[in-house]
Chain A
Amino acid sequence: MIHPPPVDPWTCRFALDPPASVRFVSAAGGSVVAAGEGTLHLLRPGSRRLRSAELPPDVDAVAVAAEPWSPYRVAIASPASVGIYSGHRPHELSVGVRHESRKYHATHLAWARLGGVTQLLFRQATGEVCQLEPETGATATITCPPMTAIAADVEGVVTMLNLAPVAPANVGDAWILPLGAKQWDVRWVDCGPDDRRTTWTNHVAVLGGAVAYSVVPGDTITYSGGVQVSWEGDEENDRNTFDLPPGVMRGPIAFQDPRAMFAAYNVEGQVNVLRWVRDGSFTRIARFGLGEDWEGTPATVTGLAWDQERRALWAASPELGLIEIQEPHGAGGVN
């Protein structure tokens, strides 16, 4: 009997040798930015050479974002500031915002094009969302309820997630600003007032009309967290509701395309990187950390980013460093 050949696996490689702790990763327009332990790692558009640079002593990165278009700058948030740095060494600060108090520190960054102008959006710990114009340094606050997380895609489509509805509202909502639009689209999110999820780690991702969010509880014994996805509506199903994936999906998330997404499910020292195709397969593409026999080194993944140009998924791991997970028959990896 002739058996069909096995499905091509996704191939993994550790981009840092020796591994160095990486907590955050962002990929857009061919640019990949990762940060952790006082070091910035960059892969420029088209490049095969990952370069690393020391972060300034006063910059302890808590979020990073790669600008998806020319000149491919890098946004870095630290507990005390938000800065836009040039993408080339020596990575000089071009414009920045310093917070009066650490309670205003930025938690999420997103590059957007508002009215055709490039803007860096940052969500503060207080829930306010601000915009910073790189060319002028002008800042403004977006009029919106306190947001739990923000994100943008490579075209500049922005989404903001509100998991703390203010009474009498009894549902949260996801705000989406499509490309070129002047008004936000709003989709309901099933949550109630005083939802404790606002204090958990929240990931949100957007790609075109598809939006997903993931809540990661600090206490994983009592609470489970999980992922909810709202795909772009089609003619048959234009509900745009948030639904649960057909399997257990938790942790950091990223869209591959408008019909496929990834999640990194961290459980008991093991990471399962999962891929879900809308209305289709749900597969594990990689696993790190402890083995089935509980042998090995515990590992977690704290950030995911899809690199469309290299057809690779980048994972940030405090224990394993930066991991490249290459799509079968992809465009090649980092040398």
Chain B
Amino acid sequence: MARARFARRAADAWSVTVVAQQPVRDVSGAGGLVVAGSASALLMVRPGTQTCKARPQLGDLPGPAVAVAAEQARPWRYAVACAGGIAMMGLPGDQMLTLTSTTPEIQVTHMAWARFLAGREQTVLYLRWTDGAVGRVRLDLGTIEHLHVLPMDAIASDANGVLAMVAVRRPAGDAHALWTRDGIRLEERPVQPGPSALAQPAGEPKSDPETRVHLAVADEAIAYAIGGQGAHVSRGIDEDFSACEELAQAGPLAFHGTAASAALFGVVRSAAVCAIDRAEAGEARDVQRVVEIVADSPDSPRIEALQWDASRRALWAASPQAGLTRVDEPGAGGHKAVGPS
């Protein structure tokens, strides 16, 4: 297994900017609109701009943002999920749609905008709740349409609206990933089952159902990680998932682009260091250390989410300790990043 190394030449090094020094749980924005959820505000970078602005947290929804999702293209709608429900913004007339939860114990954990070709092409918001149910917000029907799928552990979409979801806390044989380009036809591939939260054979490690399952998708490529237990990748419908040895301890993931052959970013964390590594696709995978945060306390910072932003050629990282960080690709050109006003 190749050891992750920093670039040897300065020209190949990624540049790092801390955009907001406040706790951030999630970041989304594959198409130019970047949204990050902090404890007290929504952080936003509008398409075509470099300035991060803060929008006060939504008054009607209690609790900090736990998940955010920014639409990949016009009309640049975005959504935020809190303990009390979800809010969708960027609607015509600057309207805001708030959906409060009738069952507070069941909350939205993952959101993703993805294509849905039912009659006409549209982009809809997919939701995944703590009970594993998955649904999509049908603004045209005024309802949330639940999908006939097993309880899922995570959902994600790429910049082109390709949707993936994964159920890993299932017995062997039932654990699987679903993938769709149009929201209608689901394609399926088996995954390596993780520790089941449903049934534990004696002697097997207990699974914490609170452990977040991280998922990334780029065209036909899907990668997932359970907590920080390492990335598993499949790059085609008929290619089984295999462990990515270069990202063996990875948690949050993001693909470096929208091609199935895109490199994969992963957050690798130890007690002393929290780092983002980048592993190339293919047999002889080169792995590069993109950024490293060294702890000045007994526990290194956590990065909860990664997002590749093709429009800025930058990787966004959300951390409850380190805030919102932007990591620019080598040669991406300079920018003037400005913190939230």
Contact = CB atoms under 8 A, between A and B. Distances in A.
Contact of B150 (A45, A71, A85, A89): A71
B187 interface: yes
A91 B190 CA distance: 12
A113 interface: yes
Contact of B187 (A46, A49, A69, A92): A46
Contact of B188 (A70, A86, A94): A70
Contacts of B238: 47-49
B148 interface: yes
Interface string A61-98: 00000000111110000000000011111111010000
A309 interface: yes
B185 A71 contact: no
Contact of A29 (B150, B176, B186): B186
Nearest to A113: B148
A92 B237 CA distance: 22
A70 B148 contact: yes
B187 A47 contact: yes
B172 A44 contact: no
Interface residues of A, number: 25
A45 B188 contact: yes
Nearest to A92: B173
> Which applies to chain A's interface (DSSP): helix, strand, loop or mixed?
loop
A94 B171 contact: yes
A70 B185 contact: no
A67 to B, nearest CB: 10
A239 B189 CA distance: 44
Nearest to B152: A70
Contacts of B148: 69-70, 113
A29 B176 CA distance: 15
B179 A71 contact: no
Interface string B138-156: 0000000000111000000
Contacts of A30: 185-188
A48 B174 contact: no
B173 A46 contact: no
Interface residues of B, number: 20
B278 interface: no
Interface in B3-57: none
Contacts of A88: 172-173, 176, 190
A71 B186 contact: no
B170 A71 contact: yes
A45 B322 CA distance: 42
B178 interface: yes
B149 A46 contact: no
A47 B237 contact: yes
Contact of A94 (B174, B187, B189): B174
A31 B190 CA distance: 13
Contact of A46 (B167, B174, B185, B190): B185
Given A69-B149, A70-B148, A71-B167, A86 B174 contact: yes
A309 B185 contact: yes
Interface string A296-328: 000000000000010000000000000000000
Contacts of B186: 29-30, 45-46, 70
Interface in B157-189: 167, 170-174, 176, 178-179, 185-189
Contacts of A113: 148
Contacts of A89: 190
B11 to A, nearest CB: 42
B188 A92 contact: no
A86 B187 contact: no
B313 to A, nearest CB: 31
A113 B149 CA distance: 12
A87 B171 CA distance: 12
A91 B174 CA distance: 10
Query: 5 tightest A-B contacts by CB?
Result: A46-B187, A86-B173, A70-B149, A88-B190, A69-B148
Interface of A: 29-31, 44-49, 69-73, 85-92, 94, 113, 309
Given A46-B179, A86-B174, A94-B174, 14 more contacts: A45-B185, A46-B186, A46-B187, A47-B188, A70-B149, A70-B167, A70-B176, A71-B150, A71-B174, A71-B176, A72-B176, A73-B174, A87-B188, A88-B172
Interface of B: 148-150, 167, 170-174, 176, 178-179, 185-190, 237-238
26 contacts: A30-B185, A30-B186, A30-B187, A44-B189, A45-B186, A45-B187, A46-B179, A46-B187, A46-B188, A47-B237, A48-B238, A49-B238, A69-B149, A70-B150, A70-B178, A71-B188, A73-B174, A85-B173, A86-B174, A87-B176, A87-B190, A88-B190, A92-B173, A94-B171, A94-B173, A113-B148
